[in-house]
Amino acid sequence: MSPGILGKKIGMTQVFRPDGRVVPVTLVKAGPCVVIQRKTPTTDGYDAVQLGLMEYVKPSRLTKPETAHLKKAGVEGVRFLREFRLGPGEGDLKMGDRVLVGQFKPNDKVDVIGVSKGRGFAGVVKRHHFRGGDATHGSMHHRAPGSIGGSSYPSRVFPGMRAAGHMGTDRVTVRNLEVIEVDADDNVLMVKGAIPGPNGGYVIVRRSKR
């Protein structure tokens, strides 16, 4: 059994529980994936498996080292590769094995990892949820961060000070999402709630660790 699967975010919708409750869900095109490389403690120092998401990719989009790496596993058309650490009892995967979404079942708990949407350069109000200053009476301090360091002491700005800057495009992990439904025919995984990234973005779905 694989510890996870790779996929693409399709988008969000909602479903109804048998009792009539509405549940927001995200659809993920999960797999099919193939085992590209199998790492073992004897050869690599740790136990892991490298999966690749099978999709159409032009040969010109891959470098020669990537093409040679995929050729060892006897596959082609793989662009998105990620590695999963293996725990006790998970070492039955071999190079060339398929990983399908049917390995997940409703009510399973999963962690979804993706890259958040990029939002460009943002100020402290948007980026860090600062309150901002007064909007009237000539305050002239509306969306500024305020004091960021002492003048005489410490006479510098401490590292890590919250300030304006680039927002988004961060690796985000959403934990303990419930699997609502699994469509093995169309390789679609339906999870409860929202996941990071735009529609069409690559995501990693792994079995929950907590």
Q: What is the pLDDT of residues 14-26, one digit of tens each?
A: 999 888 899 999 9
Map residue 121 onto helix, strand or coil: strand
Answer yes or no: are the C-beta atoms of 56 and 29 closer than 8 Å: no
Report residue 179: phi and psi, to 5°: -80, 120
* Residues near 133 by beta carbon (within 8 Å), at least 6 away in sequence: 139, 141, 142, 143, 144, 146
Within 13 Å of residue 153, how many CA atoms lie on the same side as its CB?
Answer: 0
Buried-exposed string 93-111: b where 16+ CB fall within 10 A, e elsewhere? beeeeebebebbeeebebb
The mean pLDDT value of the chain amounts to 89
pTM over 0.75: yes
| Domains in the chain with CATH codes | 4-117+170-207 (2.40.30.10), 119-167 (no CATH)
151-203 confidence digits (pLDDT tens): 899 899 999 999 999 999 999 999 999 999 998 889 999 999 999 999 999 99
Tokens standing for residue 28: 């993920």
pLDDT band at residue 7, thresholds of 50, 70 and 90?
Answer: very high
Select from 95, 90, 66 the least CA-distant residue to 80: 66
What pLDDT sits at residue 31? 77
Report residue 174: phi and psi, to 5°: -105, 120
What is the distance between the alpha carbons of residues 203 and 51, in angstroms, rounded to a whole number?
Answer: 13
